Amino acid sequence: MRHAAGYDAELRRHNELLRQAAGAQLHDHVLDIGCGTGQTSRQAARTARAGSVLGVDLSAPAVERARELARAEGLRNVTFEHADAQVHRFPPERFDLAISRFGSMFFADPVAAFANIGRALRPAGRLVMMVWQARERNEWDVAIRRSLEAAEGPVTGASGGPDPFSFADPPTVTEILRAAGFAGIAFTEVHEPVYYGPDVTAALDWVRGFTCTSEALKRLDSAAATRADERLRQALAARLGDDGVWFDSRAWIVTAHRHRADT
């Protein structure tokens, strides 16, 4: 499991925009998809004080950490489950709002997954999720890939692994959500930087933990890995400012609501 504080810090600018777009209300029941260590779940719980929040994630260690943090903060209206939102049996028509911060792009069958999520929403319940735009529009991915490619040739990412950019294309996402029973689908552009750490050493440690980086480095011999590491260090140093290492990024906030049969 990646360090929780590091991931939350990386997305600090994005997190606030997602919170505003979600607009959780006092009495809402909220479902957080791919909640990780639960920052977005806990934030929703503090707003929906008379409601409840359920966070689900595929990572058991992340879920356990989320529970620890919620207990430490004294939040009693948030729970966490180790579950796959594509197939988990959620209570039908339980939730007013489903949210996700970069946790909804990895389903094996996205139509089935969002149909399952839709069944958990009350009639006209809302979906608000943040997803990455295309990889070429995300400086962090471009810089990492170029650094690795210089050492090992074209980098295609983890073979058969999850694609964080699978929801980059609005027409594709719209088709998926419509097929899953959602309507009123809209996209709002998010152009905010991601934070990789206070200095180059911390940023390099963070980047080495990315799946695409770690798997690429594993494929290299010792000399090539050293060269790749140095190229990564140089790329990070080029983006070091007075307040740390930042990379440009672009994302979408996708909003929709459960389609009602009588509308």
Q: Which pLDDT band, with edges at 50, 70 and 90, does 157 fall under? A: very low
Q: Which pLDDT value is given to residue 202?
A: 95
DSSP assignment letter at 96:
E
b/e map of 239-260 (b: 16 or more CB within 10 Å)? bbeeebbbbebbbbbbbbbbbe
pLDDT at residue 31, rounded to an integer: 98
Classify the C-alpha dihedral 145-149-154-155 as positive or negative.
negative
Note the pTM of the prediction, 2 decimals.
Answer: 0.91
In Å, what is the CA distance from 249 to each residue of 190, 205, 246? 8, 20, 9
What is the overall mean pLDDT for the chain?
92
Rounded percentage of the chain residues whose pLDDT exceeds 70 = 92
Task: For residue 195, give both structure tokens.
Answer: 């934070």
What gap in Å lies between CA 188 and CA 184, rounded to an integer?
13
| pLDDT tens digit sequence for 69-88 | 999 999 999 999 999 999 99
pLDDT band at residue 150 under the 50/70/90 scheme: confident
Q: Quick one: which of 21, 58, 59, 61 has its CA closest to 43? A: 21
Q: Which helix (H) or strand (E) holds 236?
A: helix 222-237
Which stretches does DSSP call E strand in 34-86?
Answer: 52-57, 78-82
| Token code pair at residue 212 | 């695409």
Give the per-residue pLDDT at 126.
98
Q: What is the pLDDT of residues 209-221, one digit of tens each?
A: 888 888 888 888 8
Under 8 Å CB-to-CB from 92, ≥6 apart: which residues? 119, 120
Rounded distance between C-alpha atoms, residue 83 and residue 86, angstroms: 9
